[in-house]
Structure 1
């Protein structure tokens, strides 16, 4: 992807009458997208905080490097960690990162990446254990936790987060091809097209039946959490949610535990939400958001199939949109932004803000980010331990954050896992 140079100042989002008259919450008038890193990164894919009190942010580069942005806002030149990853497709590479809730004491973090030929390809979850959690260069041990062998090219998913329950959640795409090729997204004996829930803090000496990422009777680097729903014959016990195409980015609301999922469609983009006890089937490949695939003109697909409807959706091509980037529900110190779901589109480069009305219904409105349109721009969102919200521009190697004068770093951030 071509990288264009330009000067960057503060980008003030257009939040005037259009927002207020749409019946939405009133945002801060000075809400702005502020550049944090403008050079030194190549194709960043994700950003996350170790929540260890250091104020650092860790940034993934698609080529296989983890970079450190220190508390002073300086991008350190020496990578934290580097490994060979598969970058044969633009959607491959180093894709996801999550820190153990006790990283400050145990130095444990996890990454997801496309495996190299030597690793037999696939999508791989790896555990890193740093000898010194405070160090800015990794030294320690590492081990493969689980590999999904069927994934090799695009539509891999690849995001990971620890939930409020201390377990690791991992989004797995349905892989390349057309919806007609993706019956496995509905098959509970297959890990593709799913979100998994794993107990990575307690490996097992003897994998049980139904652990589809391990060999029965042999040791495994994870176990199945109590409460995982699918335990029948021919079902994968790792599965938590299913019926997804490419859940490239998702998040877990630290205040409620809800999962917010951005599922990239063929010609329709959707944001899904899973609330404890809700429908676990999001309908793909028969449904794309509220519509059938192939389209019939009807919007009753979830009702007809008994699957979960989307919270937000839009057609591909609308306002140059073509790939939704799931975001997060803001829980930081900017009062006018709290509770708003911030997400984006990786083609239109928009920041999209979702709000809930008093009736409980949700709607969203777009705001220009100032990032030029082009495939692979707004790639990810992340939270700092102080509640700041960061935006990753993959195409131009930039990191931004949302800013307002309402921001108060003295406010205690809502506690919980990432």
Structure 2
């Protein structure tokens, strides 16, 4: 079945598209040449909690576009962007503001398969010991599989590497369909590598992967990339939920459809994940060890399969509700972001900032004083938002499918 959003195929980046047939999104507006987009937060918030910051988007690299950007990471004064076809480019933030062009750090286009709209080089993470060992980890697809691999980036002044001989594949697993590949990589506060995987694709998780604890699909995985064990290029953390029995040892959480982007709160260590919905709801989850997030029993808080009467099964499997969800009137494909801990937007401190690929809306979400969650619209960007990222100072950036990089600034 074709992707629900025809524009995804046009742009070549349906990073998280649902596979159910529906109407095309309405009201899409071309970016044009406008440099900044502004809007204010909602004026309808209760008085017992502060408003998020008033923000605008400022284009970085004026006149220079990235090629199908998929993730943003930072190390020191440099930012790194993965491009879907298999390149990692970098720049210093000051150079970007001055209009400098990004520098190619790694080119693995010879082994990355990026012809499918949701395939390609999808994620990047820096080893906790990167300053000493230069190790990075990437998440990419071949035509039929996902590969988690390690490379060593040369230090500044060294000759560039990236030859096939430099790759060490840690983990490879088959993908039954071209879509729903997840793609996020991140090291947690515990030093372990977390990996987001989609349910394997197809409409409605036809293979039942998300609830199957013996497959790596539809999961958040956690591995120890610093050690080898049992003939594998990685080790299993001893406290993984199924390290001893009952499921695949790499699983940290399950019951997810396509967790395209997730992130850790730099202050609390909480793991936030945005899980792309099927045909009704997009959701934001707080991921806990061993948690079951319901798919495909549930789509957000609504029964999916069976279409009714799923509550008993959800209760039996201890399915965890999302902290927030929204319907098709607000967006079509959630792009997860970060809990803001920077200094430039002080009123945004503690808010989880995320967006939607289809509608271009950018929201801020946080737990209010009442214990319930508040969600505030920051702006209508009119962008197809592919990913968010942080620079070395914790300031927020995002990319569009069209190849532009933006920074969130105060109005």
Query: Are 1:290 and 2:316 an aligned pair?
Result: no
Q: Spell out, residue by residue over 1:276-296, the C-alpha distance to the aligned partner (whole angstroms, 9 max, x if none).
A: 6xx611111111110100475
Among residues 156, 161, 181, which one is paired with 2:186 in the alignment?
Answer: 161
Q: Does the CA contact (< 8 Å) of 2:241 and 2:251 recur in 1?
A: yes
Matched, 1:172 2:183: no
Q: Indicate the larger mover: 94-103 or 126-135.
A: 126-135
Match of 1:389 among 386, 389, 396: 396
Please say if residues 131 and 139 of structure 1, whose CA atoms lie closer than 8 Å, have aligned partners that are also in contact: no
Q: Which of 47, 60, 63 is the matching residue for 1:36? A: 60
Q: Is it true that 1:15 corresponds to 2:38 in the alignment? A: no
Q: CA RMSD in A?
A: 2.5
Task: Tell me the residue number matched to 2:15.
Answer: none
2: distance between equivalents of 1:149 and 1:187?
Answer: 15
Asked if structure 2 preserves the Cα contact closer than 8 Å seen for 1:111 and 1:127, the reply is yes
Task: Spell out, residue by residue over 1:199-232, the C-alpha distance to the aligned partner (whole angstroms, 9 max, x if none).
Answer: 011123xx2xxxxxxxxxxx22111112111034
- In 2, the alpha carbon distance for the partners of 1:136 and 1:346 equals 37
The counterpart of 2:127, out of the listed 79, 93, 100, is 100
Distance 1:341 1:132 in 2: 33
**Maintained 8 Å contact 1:224/1:237:** yes
Match of 2:90 in 1: 68
Corresponding position of 2:152: 129
Per the alignment, residue 360 of structure 1 pairs with 371
SS in structure 2 at match of 1:72: helix
TM (norm. structure 2) is 0.84
The answer as to whether partners of 1:8 and 1:35 remain within 8 angstroms in 2 is no
Q: 1:244 to 1:339 in 2, by over 3 A?
A: same
Q: Does 2:58 match 1:46?
A: no
The change in CA–CA distance for 1:25 and 1:297 in structure 2 (over 3 A counts) is farther
Task: Give the 3 Å change call, closer, same or farther, for CA 22–352 of structure 1 in structure 2.
Answer: farther
Asked if 1:187 corresponds to 2:212, the answer is yes
Are 1:33 and 1:369, in contact at CA under 8 Å, matched by a contact in 2? no
Match of 2:81 among 28, 47, 59: 59
Per chain length, whose mean CA-contact separation is higher, i.e. which structure has more relative contact order (CA < 8 Å, sep 6+)? Answer: 2
Structure 2 residue aligned with 1:216: none
Q: 1:264 to 1:16 in 2, by over 3 A?
A: closer
Distance 1:16 1:292 in 2: 31
Are the structure 2 counterparts of residues 348 and 22 from structure 1 closer, same or farther at C-alpha, using a change threshold of 3 Å? farther
- Render the CA deviation track for 1:75-94: whole Å, top value 9, x for unaligned: 54541111121112111111
**Equivalent residue of 2:398, what SS?**
strand
1:223 maps to what in 2?
235
TM-score, normalised with respect to structure 1: 0.83
Partners of 1:247 and 1:13 lie apart in 2 by: 28
The Cα of 1:262 is off from its aligned counterpart by: 0.7
1:78-97 → structure 2 map (5 Å cutoff)? 78-84=103-109, 85-97=112-124
Partners of 2:41 and 2:376 within 8 A in 1: no
In structure 2, C-alpha distance between the alignment counterparts of 1:299 and 1:312, rounded to whole Å = 20
Q: CA separation in 2, counterparts of 1:160 and 1:330?
A: 19
In structure 2, the CA distance between the partners of 1:150 and 1:132, relative to structure 1 (3 Å rule), is same
Q: Confirm or deny that 1:244 pairs with 2:250.
A: no
The answer for unaligned runs of 5 or more in structure 2 is: 1-9, 13-29
Structure 1: 5+ residue stretches without partners:
208-218, 406-418
Q: Deviations over 1:164-198 (max 9, x none)?
A: 00110000111122325142211111101110000
1: CA distance, partners of 2:226 / 2:67 = 32
